[in-house]
Amino acid sequence: MTDAIAPPGLTCQQARTLTLAALGGALEFYDFVIFVFFATTMGVLFFPPDMPEWLKLVQTFGIFAAGYLARPLGGIVMAHFGDLSGRKRMFMLSILMMAIPTLLMGLLPTYATVGVLAPILLLLLRIMQGAAIGGEAPGAWVFVSEHVSARHRALACGALSAGLCSGILLGSLVARAIHASFEEAEVLAWAWRIPFIAGGVFGLLAMFLRRKLHETPVFAEMRERKSLAAELPLKTVVRDHTGAVVLAMLLTWLLTAAVVVTLLMMPTLLQGLGVSRADALAGNTLAICATVIANLVAGWMADRFGAGRVLVLWSVLLGLAFWTFYSGALAGAYSPALYVVAGFGVGVTALVPAIAVSGFPAQVGFSGLSFSYNVAYAIAGGLTPIALSIAIKDDPAAPMLYIAGMAVLGVALGLHVMMRRPRVAE
């Protein structure tokens, strides 16, 4: 069994590493998600004025989705070199690849200036962002988990996940501040550029912060022993670690469902149930805050009581909390307090990377996690909104049923983790 009681807390150096990594992850995730908060504005600015509004929105979200489709390729390539040349180098590269296109987005000419070239340039920059984020999340989780002992891995991954969720929160707050501070005409004229330019600056700041980080002790030891992967890391992953890949993909499916449905889709779903836009967004902000806190709590608990046990507990919490919250909203009794509890249930995301990364040996850990996570996220992240949008037409309770099914999956995966044998390396 992998469950074990953890020794005393992190050292000051480890805590500093986690803080800097989480802060950098928050700034980079802000860069990735800020686009979606200005989707309507981007549709107006980057497509022909005579195009139907619905088609503009579809085209704009298509460009946003291109970032997800680029994730697997970017993640696999960056993970390959991360396993062979160093975690820190790819950690630095991913944030540079995110900062530059975000900054350039804020400087792009619009359709009124350069015509069809405008959306083409926007698409290319979005693909660059997708490639960057494909390496960021898995690389960051591997980086922080290799800076601590295996018995502090869940807290390390939870802290990083909390940072990534903070980036989503920051994007939401910045978007709300822009729309509150400027008239719509000003936003369309120039103010829309502010969050993108600021995002580029944030990214460069995060890269500066990451310069202060050191290569992971695990990779440094492997390089010293000359025990790095002897062949293509991904080949080794697919050939020798199929079980770990399947487990990581199923865990990623759980993570994607929790984040996409509970946090990203919910404001739109609530408005469809008659909740005002302001109330839906306010509740969403509080729910994201609860998710940030829950990632830290769940990670801390997993290191003390076992990741498998806490995954079971948090999966049950997610299923029950979301069912109670959404059934109330369906009945016309929307409760921000229950939404916060459901957001706390999304803290299950702290456990996913901690369990997934432990399934691969260090020599191919980056490639294993990146391949599994990005492929699963591209599929589940892309299909979930579409599938649920279609299902809701026939059954308004479809989101409840989906999250309930994911909660059952989480319980099953948690029981599996409790029964499996630990890796020798741990």
Cβ(262)–Cβ(287) below 8 Å: yes
Residue 254 has pLDDT above 70, yes or no: yes
Higher pLDDT, 421 or 4: 421
Cβ(344)–Cβ(293) below 8 Å: yes
Residue 67 has pLDDT above 80, yes or no: no
Residue 18 has pLDDT above 70, yes or no: yes
68-82, 365-379, 396-410: range with lowest mean pLDDT? 68-82
- Residue 3: per-residue pLDDT: 41
C-alpha to C-alpha distance for 380 and 282, rounded to whole angstroms: 27
Q: Average pLDDT for residues 261-268, to the nearest whole number? A: 85
- Residue 287: per-residue pLDDT: 95
C-alpha to C-alpha distance for 419 and 381, rounded to whole angstroms: 29
- Beta-carbon contacts of 190 under 8 Å, excluding residues fewer than 6 positions away, are none
Higher pLDDT, 8 or 100: 100
279-300 per-position pLDDT tens digit: 888 898 999 999 999 999 999 9
Higher pLDDT, 334 or 144: 334
C-alpha to C-alpha distance for 17 and 22, rounded to whole angstroms: 8
Higher pLDDT, 279 or 420: 279
Q: Burial level of 348, CB count in 10 A (0-12/13-18/19+)? A: buried
Q: Average pLDDT for residues 414-426, to the nearest whole number? A: 69
> Percent of the chain scored above 70 by pLDDT?
92
- Residue 27: per-residue pLDDT: 81
318-366 per-position pLDDT tens digit: 999 999 999 999 999 999 999 999 999 999 999 999 899 888 887 787 7
The dihedral region occupied by 110, where left means phi > 0, alpha psi between -120 and 50, and beta the remainder, is beta
Q: Average pLDDT for residues 161-175, to the nearest whole number? A: 88
- Residue 391: per-residue pLDDT: 86
Q: Which domains does the chain have, with CATH numbers?
A: 12-419 (1.20.1250.20)
Alpha-carbon dihedral 378, 307, 288, 402, rounded to 10 degrees: 50
- Residue 12: per-residue pLDDT: 80
Query: What are residue 280's phi and psi, to 5 degrees?
Result: -65, -45
Residue 61 has pLDDT above 70, yes or no: no
- Residue 57: per-residue pLDDT: 63
Alpha helices in 241-397 (DSSP H): 242-259, 266-272, 277-305, 307-330, 336-345, 351-357, 365-394
Residue 100 has pLDDT above 70, yes or no: yes
Higher pLDDT, 362 or 395: 395
End-to-end CA distance of the chain: 12
C-alpha to C-alpha distance for 423 and 426, rounded to whole angstroms: 6
> Percent of the chain scored above 90 by pLDDT?
36
